[in-house]
Chains A and B, each alone.
Chain A
């Protein structure tokens, strides 16, 4: 299993820059997730690695070998496509067996061996009863399993998975996600997996790369990406419910932060204040994750910002509460879906300053 190095890869489609000067090292056997909104360049990235698109500049290495000019059939990569791309005129068996029958593997497998391997893979993916069907007779989840079978059967050096769970329904998605953990353990192939769903990324990835508009925004472990997003784009796209973002000013005279949108101020620890002062700006954008904002129904010294409760929603074992501080909207969440809150009830908010993120207003970079 090779490691993959990309050096200054740039890919353009006409005037659109799909990949902008990417530099990445992907470790041997790593499960590497590319996270990003649609149009970020995720698919292009995979196609460049597979040799289906050639980059305008930059170098790609598998281990020490430069592979820029090696054609796709000789790269020993497998790729599943977002739209599955099964061969409509081949049966499930024919689809899964096709990599073994190709000229690239000529003479390696006789028909008995092919049958045995297809059957084993199909059994592992739970599609062994579908081998005689045509792709048009399969459901979305089944098609995805066939596509995976076709990718896994040749035991490629590098496995590229393009949004494998994006278009299957929620139940199958959870089921398949669990199966990916199993496949990850079993094959230990260097895998690059793209997704627009941060939950998948956090659940599966050894490391996550956040890509937006062809640029790397951040590379890090799931914890890093979640807890220390490098900029606002990453913070916004990772985590649910969405992170709260609002402006604040430093008020040096009484060492607190003032938020003009909600017309309130709150104290922060000296350490944070020092950090912000050292950074040098007076105005920042605060990022506060909904579950890091605590609240109380009673006013106290700690809970001293007044808010009005709006709509509440119980979802996924948590209660999501929309509140208003003056004119500023804020989302809170707690792990207690049974808590009853009246609409228009007063709530008292406390910002836990250790978990707040501060972003530069101009560059939108995380200050920490």
Chain B
């Protein structure tokens, strides 16, 4: 009797769980779904009120942003050109370089900050973190003037440099936390076995911190990828990342909703691929079986 009752309760509980999960997911995923459909809708259907779910799909938007269809809309430059592809190329160059440089600099720095004691250590770590506090608008004008003077305006290098403000603190602090969780005795065992600090860092600590490295890399990548303001102010069309290029489809005469939606989908793809690739490292985390806890 009791068993049956608890079974019934169980089913009810599960039902509530699933229903609330479905509601939550629909709420969260609906905007993405809507953007996705927008990319394939005829212009009339996009601005129709009340909105409609049924429409005749068109690939015009996709073809247009890829530069495969001539621009026809009023107020745009005519001819075949793709701001989207230029933007994607720039974004990939800038963001991948930024994250790689941050990894190159940030991982050793994270190890040093996690393992060594020296004067001013916390101050240095905090200064690097504080890059994230400053509002970009505060530094952007001085940076613009500076870069114009030294000839870095409208170069990839300028943006890669400035993006360190975003990616370096992220990687440094996340990986440092992970390394601090690895018992220092692992390093010490390596030293006793006759290995150098560099070998220990590369072969023993980095593999154990790969969960943190994956998390830091992914977050740094996302924040860099989504950055808008630096690219807008410090570069022009030939160097600007995809976030800024999307703006070219907002003209004085038209708002090209379908094309912007298509760019949104296209620009999100690299992040989706990266997240899928790093996911197993994020989940696998540390297998610290060698340590007695």
Chain A: residues with CB nearer than 8 A to chain B?
Answer: 47, 50-52, 71-73, 77-79, 81-89, 98-99, 102-105, 134-138, 140, 143, 150, 154, 167
Give the Cβ gap from A46 to chain B, nearest Cβ, in Å.
10
20 contacts between A and B (CB under 8 A): A50-B188, A50-B192, A52-B188, A52-B191, A73-B194, A73-B195, A81-B185, A84-B292, A85-B188, A85-B290, A86-B291, A87-B290, A88-B289, A102-B193, A102-B199, A103-B194, A136-B288, A143-B290, A154-B193, A167-B292
Contact with A88, one of B190, B191, B195, B290 (Cβ below 8 angstroms) = B290
Contacts of A85 in B (CB 8 A): 183, 185-186, 188-189, 290-291
B183 in contact with A83 (CB, 8 Å): yes
Q: Choose one: A71, A79, A83; the contact of B292 (CB below 8 Å).
A: A83
A89–B208 touching, CB < 8 Å:
yes
CB distance from B187 to the nearest CB of A (A): 9
Q: Are A135 and B196 in contact (CB under 8 A)?
A: no
Given contacts A73-B191, A79-B192, A98-B193, contact A88 B291 (CB under 8 A): yes
The answer to whether A99 touches B290 (Cβ under 8 A) is: no
Which label, helix, strand, loop or mixed, suits the secondary structure of the A interface? mixed
- In the bound assembly, the distance between CA atoms of A105 and B290 in angstroms comes to 24
Cα(A73)–Cα(B189), bound, Å: 10
Contacts of B190 in A (CB 8 A): 87, 98
Which residues of chain B from 273 to 290 have a CB within 8 Å of any chain A CB? 286-290
Known: A83-B183, A85-B185, A89-B208. A72 touches B289 (CB 8 A): no
Find out whether the CB atom of B194 lies under 8 angstroms from the CB atom of A135: no
Q: Is B204 an interface residue (CB 8 A)?
A: yes
Q: Which A residues are in CB contact (< 8 Å) with B193? A: 73, 98-99, 102, 104, 150, 154
Contacts of A88 in B (CB 8 A): 186, 208, 286-291
10 new A-B contacts, CB < 8 A, other than A103-B195, A134-B289, A135-B290, are: A50-B191, A77-B192, A79-B192, A85-B188, A85-B290, A89-B208, A102-B193, A104-B195, A140-B292, A154-B193
Task: List the B residue with the shortest CB-CB distance to A98.
Answer: B193
A104 and B292 CA atoms in complex are apart in Å by 28
Contact A102 B195 (CB under 8 A): yes
A-B pairs, top 8 by smallest CB distance, nearest first, are A136-B289, A104-B194, A102-B194, A135-B290, A86-B290, A85-B185, A88-B290, A72-B191
Most chain B C-beta atoms within 10 Å of own C-beta, residue among A86, A137, A150: A86
Question: Please, how many residues of chain B have a CB less than 8 angstroms from a CB on the other chain?
Answer: 23
| Contact B290 A81, beta carbon cutoff 8 Å | no
Any chain A CB within 8 A of the CB of B207? yes
Known contacts A83-B291, A84-B291, A167-B292; A72/B192 CB under 8 A: yes
CA distance in complex: A15, B208 (Å): 33
Contacts of B208 in A (CB 8 A): 88-89
Task: Tell whether, in the assembled complex, residue B292 and residue A78 are in contact, meaning their CB atoms are under 8 Å apart.
Answer: no
How distant is A101 from chain B, measured CB to nearest CB, in Å?
9
Min distance, Cβ A162 to any Cβ of chain B, angstroms: 10
CA distance A138 to B289 in the complex (A): 8
A154 CA to B191 CA, complexed, in Å: 14
Closest residue of chain B to A151 (Cβ to Cβ) is B192
A166 closest partner in B (C-beta) = B292
A150 to B287, CA, bound (A): 20
Residues of B contacting A83 in the complex (Cβ-Cβ under 8 angstroms): 183, 185, 291-292
Residues of A near B194 (CB, < 8 A) are 73, 99, 102-105, 154
How far is B208's CA from A167's CA once the two chains are assembled, in angstroms?
Answer: 24
* A residues near B185, Cβ cutoff 8 Å: 81, 83, 85
Q: Tell me which of A71, A87, A105, A136 has the highest count of chain B C-beta atoms within 10 A of its own C-beta.
A: A87
Q: Report Cα–Cα, A140/B286, bound state, in Å.
A: 19
CB distance from A173 to the nearest CB of B (A): 15
Residues of B within 8 A of A72 (CB): 188, 191-192
- A103 and B292 contact, CB distance less than 8 A: no
> Which residues of chain B have C-beta atoms less than 8 A from A104's C-beta?
193-195
Residue of B nearest to A81 (CB): B185
Question: Is A103's CB under 8 angstroms from B199's CB?
Answer: yes
Q: Which residue of B lies closest to A140 (CB)?
A: B292
Give the nearest-CB partner of A75 in chain B: B192
Which A residues are CB-close (under 8 A) to B195?
Answer: 73, 98, 102-104
- From B192, which residue of chain A is reached at the shortest CB distance? A79
Given the contacts A73-B194, A73-B196, A77-B192, A87 and B186 also touching, CB distance less than 8 Å: yes
- How far apart sit A69 and B192, CA to CA, in the bound complex (Å)? 15
The residues of A that contact B204 with a CB separation of less than 8 Å are 87, 89
**B183: A residues at CB distance < 8 A:** 83, 85
B210 CB to nearest chain A CB (Å): 9
User: Nearest Cβ distance between residue A140 and chain B, in whole angstroms?
Assistant: 7
CB of B201, distance to nearest CB on chain A (Å): 13
B290: chain A residues at CB < 8 Å are 84-88, 134-136, 143
Kindly report which residue of chain A lies nearest to residue B189, judged by CB atoms.
Answer: A85
Contacting residues, chain A, for B292 (C-beta < 8 A) = 82-84, 140, 143, 167
Chain A hits for B186, CB < 8 A: 85, 87-88
Q: Chain B residue with minimal CB distance to A147?
A: B189
Q: Which residue of A lies closest to B191 (CB)?
A: A72
A134 contact set on B, CB distance < 8 A: 287, 289-290
Q: Which B residues lie within 8 Å of A99 (CB)?
A: 193-194
Chain A residue, CB-CB nearest to B206: A89
